[in-house]
Amino acid sequence: MSRKRILTGDRPTGPLHLGHYVGSVANRARLQDEFETFVIIADAQALTTNFDRPERLAEDVLNVAMDNLACGVDPQKSVLFVQSLVPAIAELTVFYANLVTVNQLFHNPTIKTEAAQHNFEESMPFGFLGYPVSQAADITFCRANLVPVGEDQLPHIEMTRKIVRKFNSLYAPVLVEPEARVSEVSRLPGLDGGAKMSKSLGNAIYLSDPPDVVKQKVARAVTDPARIHPTDKGHPEICTVFAWHRAFNRAESDDIGERCRAGTIGCVPCKARLVAVLNEFLEPIRARRAGYEQDPDLVRDILSTGTARARHEGDRTMALVRAAMKIDYFPPPAPAATAGN
Ligand code: TRP
């Protein structure tokens, strides 16, 4: 039996940050040995909020590819590809659009949050409202079984599952119903203490940030506002810096939490320890990334090979989908009968 498949990925709206790493990139690098892994660089989805500046995509696509490679996504094991170059994704989106209602999309909590961030509440672009439909196509074009994502993506996976069930029961059971896999730490707070690290909120530490930038950013990270003096008793459960210790410094985090609570470690040494831990973690990623930065043609080659592979999978799925819908108007001739028949 063939291995189960993963599909996951990111919007190229800038380089990837620590939130992407703990939310899904680490998981995909870990799972690629066990599963056949497809990593999508969702450039068409990025356009749903950045349609006024398509010229940035070429660089951002390359950046996201390099971040994935630097984090250990191995092109020998995983298919790294560009969404807009896989026609099956656009084609499936058109067919799936008939299987969801506008109301379902308006009620999607992730759409609501993002619409507010982009001031789309009054006037919502059709492409933005519909991107979860296109994301269902991202996941199903390669018949993925598993989707490792951060928890903000769960409404989209739920919608994908609904679309698949509806398609399979209306036409024929050719699509695979995927399951989400949320990582242990699925949401990292931002520097500003906000619920989520995000590029658009300007509160992120990037995988490509040099050591001194990491240091400056951690220095200005919001901590427990009740702590004025290092001996004040702290509340690690509401502290951004503590959440990052939890995610990147598991071994010491219990101890740091206790000392914070007891008022025996101040925010300054707590932050200094985090900076050391983060820089140690980021060092090999920076080194691998630097190698790819010096050879962008290699990265383009990896992407173009992966994209060709994804197109091939997409063509196979489209044949099944068109047959299921009975719209395969010009099917290829049946293979010639063997001699004597
Ligand atoms: N919506 C995802 C994000 O914003 C990116 C994405 C696009 C994705 N297509 C996907 C994630 C398919 C998982 C599966 O991060």
Looking up residue 80, the CATH number of its domain turns out to be 3.40.50.620
Residue 205 forms part of a structural domain = no
Q: Are strands 36-41 and 179-182 parallel, antiparallel or unpaired?
A: unpaired
Which amino acid residue places its CA nearest to atom 6 of ligand 1?
10
Same-domain check for residues 174 and 315 = yes
Q: How many other C-beta atoms lie within 10 A of the C-beta of residue 215?
A: 17
Domain count, the chain: 2
Residue 50 forms part of a structural domain = yes
Same-domain check for residues 271 and 134 = no
**Nearest alpha carbon to residue 138 among 5, 279, 18, 319:** 5
Q: Are 199 and 17 in contact (CB under 8 A)?
A: yes
Instruction: State which amino acid sits at residue 91.
Output: E
9 strand-pairing partners: 40
What's the rounded Cα separation, in Å, for the pair 68 and 70? 5
Residue 42 forms part of a structural domain = yes
Six-digit token pair at 64?
């996201």
**Nearest alpha carbon to residue 4 among 133, 137, 142, 136:** 142
Instruction: State which amino acid sits at residue 84.
Output: S
For CA atoms 201, 203, 208, 209, the dihedral sign is: positive
Cα of 42 to ligand 1 centre, how many Å?
7
Residue 149 forms part of a structural domain = yes
**Nearest alpha carbon to residue 273 among 282, 265, 285:** 265
Q: Are 270 and 48 in contact (CB under 8 A)?
A: no
pLDDT reported for residue 168: 98
Instruction: State which amino acid sits at residue 165.
Output: R
What's the rounded Cα separation, in Å, for the pair 259 and 230? 11
Which amino acid residue places its CA nearest to atom 3 of ligand 1?
10
DSSP state of 173: S
pLDDT reported for residue 121: 87
Q: What is the mean pLDDT of each run of 10 residues along the chain (341 residues)?
A: 91 93 90 97 97 96 97 97 98 98 97 94 95 98 95 95 98 98 84 86 92 96 90 92 94 96 95 97 96 97 98 98 96 71 51
What's the rounded Cα separation, in Å, for the pair 111 and 121? 10
What's the rounded Cα separation, in Å, for the pair 256 and 97? 50
Cα of 234 to ligand 1 centre, how many Å?
37
**Nearest alpha carbon to residue 12 among 83, 118, 74:** 83
Domain span holding position 224 = 211-291
Cα of 162 to ligand 1 centre, how many Å?
17
Same-domain check for residues 57 and 73 = yes
Same-domain check for residues 148 and 245 = no
Among 38, 156, 179, which is best to mutate for testing ligand 1, by the most ligand atoms less than 8 A from CB?
156
Same-domain check for residues 260 and 135 = no
pLDDT reported for residue 201: 81
3-class DSSP state of 79: strand
Residue 162 forms part of a structural domain = yes
Cα of 150 to ligand 1 centre, how many Å?
9
Q: Which atom of ligand 1 is nearest to the CA of 148?
A: 13
Same-domain check for residues 138 and 272 = no
Residue 341 forms part of a structural domain = no
Q: Give Cβ neighbours of residue 33 (< 8 Å, ≥ 6 apart).
A: 77
232: domain CATH number?
Answer: 1.10.240.10
Cα of 274 to ligand 1 centre, how many Å?
29
What's the rounded Cα separation, in Å, for the pair 307 and 91? 16
- Ligand 1 lining (C-beta closer than 6 Å): 7-11, 40, 42, 45, 135, 138-139, 147, 149, 153
In 16-51, which positions are buried (b, 16+ CB within 10 angstroms) versus exposed (e)?
bbbbbbbbbbbbbbebbeebbbbbbbbbbbbbbbbe
Q: How many other C-beta atoms lie within 10 A of the C-beta of residue 213?
A: 12
3-class DSSP state of 9: strand
pLDDT reported for residue 1: 60
The pTM of the full predicted model, rounded to 2 decimals, is 0.92
Same-domain check for residues 162 and 229 = no
pLDDT reported for residue 340: 54
Q: How many other C-beta atoms lie within 10 A of the C-beta of residue 59?
A: 13
Same-domain check for residues 32 and 161 = yes
Residue 335 forms part of a structural domain = no
Q: Are strands 36-41 and 78-82 parallel, antiparallel or unpaired?
A: parallel
Same-domain check for residues 73 and 185 = yes
Same-domain check for residues 156 and 30 = yes
Same-domain check for residues 11 and 141 = yes
Residue 197 forms part of a structural domain = no
Same-domain check for residues 63 and 151 = yes
